[in-house]
């Protein structure tokens, strides 16, 4: 759905990058898009271009925070919560960054900003700088070199991720939700052949990363953010080194952030009702129901069973609970 990069916007080293990309193992996803395999996951060639540039050229700062996720796992929410957390006390209620831009505008995807040009980072003044990514842990780690940046990963039940992705795809294509697309998407998911997939390897990469380096990698679960937002937000604050003070807790600062970042609040902000991302996606497509278990309404019992069997196989030996 994105146009080819015009010749005059191509980078000088594009040819070298394209040669490398064409040497990678490749396959075709449910839409007929060519994907290539890199460091254990599949990416389309434009994403791949961004990843290679970002790994080569990103200059991390030790205070950087990177929000990581598999697409449709709660990225937008985690971005909003992190912005609200680190920016608290810097803004009044009418000049808050979340009122002026969508969370994706405030926290850019590294592989996207490095896609066509070397981004100018000098205008990102706020410290900490906030970035995001959908790449797997090993790929992100390589780009961060040995910098002790904080990485926060959010993961979500794969069935809800799948249905959320189906809705998102249809919204972007401006078509009715069709069962046939869900079926082919389901096949691709099960086979692990989707942009950024396999889902299982993605989640496991960050799970392992968080076990190896708990000080710098936090592993959060969307469902727990939903059931226990207060506790999870405080955990995030502690991890990022910006604990709530007793006074803040008493004055309701935690609840204020949760209210500001709630699905209903964000969805109804003018900027999210009407705005578009840099890649021309409507902001509103990032906010739907946010319900746990919504996939029950769309997946057949056979589909659920097949996913359950894959989960059983892939996650045995880990303490990850669905």
Instruction: Point out which residues bind ligand A3P (CB under 6 A).
Output: 69, 71-77, 80, 160, 164, 167, 261-263, 266, 286-290, 294
Q: How far is the CB of 15 from ligand A3P (least distance, A)?
A: 33
Beta bridge partners of 34: 28
Among all chains, which residue has been given the structure tokens 């980078």?
11
- Are 68 and 151 in contact by the 8 Å Cβ rule? The answer is yes
Rounded Cα distance, 320 and 46, in Å:
32
For 121, the 3-state DSSP assignment is helix
Q: How far is the CB of 76 from ligand A3P (least distance, A)?
A: 3
Please pick, among 91, 96, 104, 134, the residue that the annotation labels catalytic: 134
Q: Which is nearer to ligand A3P, 25 or 179 (CB)?
A: 179
Q: Which is nearer to ligand A3P, 119 or 290 (CB)?
A: 290
For 277, the 3-state DSSP assignment is coil
Q: Which is nearer to ligand A3P, 52 or 219 (CB)?
A: 219
- Residue 91 bears catalytic tag: no
Q: How far is the CB of 234 from ligand A3P (least distance, A)?
A: 17
Rounded Cα distance, 302 and 210, in Å:
33
Phi and psi of 276, rounded to 5°? -130, 150
Q: Which is nearer to ligand A3P, 52 or 218 (CB)?
A: 218
Q: How far is the CB of 11 from ligand A3P (least distance, A)?
A: 28
CA distances from 303 to 12, 62, 216 (A): 46, 44, 36
Task: Let me know how many helices (H) and strands (E) the chain has, helices first.
Answer: 17, 7
Q: How far is the CB of 210 from ligand A3P (least distance, A)?
A: 18
Rounded Cα distance, 218 and 215, in Å:
8
For 217, the 3-state DSSP assignment is strand
Among all chains, which residue has been given the structure tokens 């709660």?
74
CA distances from 8 to 5, 14, 51 (A): 8, 12, 20
Q: Which is nearer to ligand A3P, 164 or 188 (CB)?
A: 164
Which residues are catalytically annotated? 134
């Amino acid at each position: 759905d994105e146009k080819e990069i015009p010749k005059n916007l191509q980078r000088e080293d594009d040819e070298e990058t394209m040669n490398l990309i064409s040497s990678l193992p490749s396959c075709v996803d449910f839409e007929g898009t060519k994907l290539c395999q890199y460091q254990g996951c599949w990416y389309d060639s434009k994403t791949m271009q961004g990843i290679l540039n970002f790994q080569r050229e990103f200059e991390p700062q030790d205070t950087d925070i990177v929000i990581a996720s598999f697409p449709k796992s709660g990225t937008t929410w985690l971005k909003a919560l992190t912005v609200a957390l680190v920016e608290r006390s810097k803004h009044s209620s009418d000049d808050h960054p979340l009122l002026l831009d969508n969370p994706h505008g405030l926290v850019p995807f590294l592989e996207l900003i490095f896609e066509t040009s070397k981004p100018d980072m000098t205008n990102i003044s706020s410290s900490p700088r906030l970035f995001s990514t959908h790449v797997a842990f090993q790929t992100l780690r390589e780009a961060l070199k040995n910098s002790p940046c904080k990485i926060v990963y959010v993961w979500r039940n794969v069935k809800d991720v799948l249905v959320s992705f189906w809705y998102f795809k249809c919204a972007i294509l401006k078509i009715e939700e069709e069962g046939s697309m869900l079926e082919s998407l389901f096949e691709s998911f099960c086979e692990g052949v989707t942009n950024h997939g396999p889902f299982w390897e993605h989640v496991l990469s960050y799970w392992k990363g968080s076990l190896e380096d708990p000080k710098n990698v936090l592993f959060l679960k969307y469902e727990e953010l939903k059931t226990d937002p207060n506790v999870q937000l405080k955990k995030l604050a502690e991890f990022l080194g910006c604990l709530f003070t007793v006074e803040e807790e008493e004055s309701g600062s935690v609840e204020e952030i949760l209210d500001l970042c709630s699905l209903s609040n964000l969805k109804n902000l003018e900027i999210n009702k009407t705005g578009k991302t840099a890649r021309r996606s409507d902001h509103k497509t990032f906010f739907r129901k946010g319900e746990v278990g919504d996939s029950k309404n769309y997946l057949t019992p056979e589909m659920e069973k097949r996913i359950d069997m894959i989960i059983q196989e892939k996650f045995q030996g880990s303490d990850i609970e669905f």
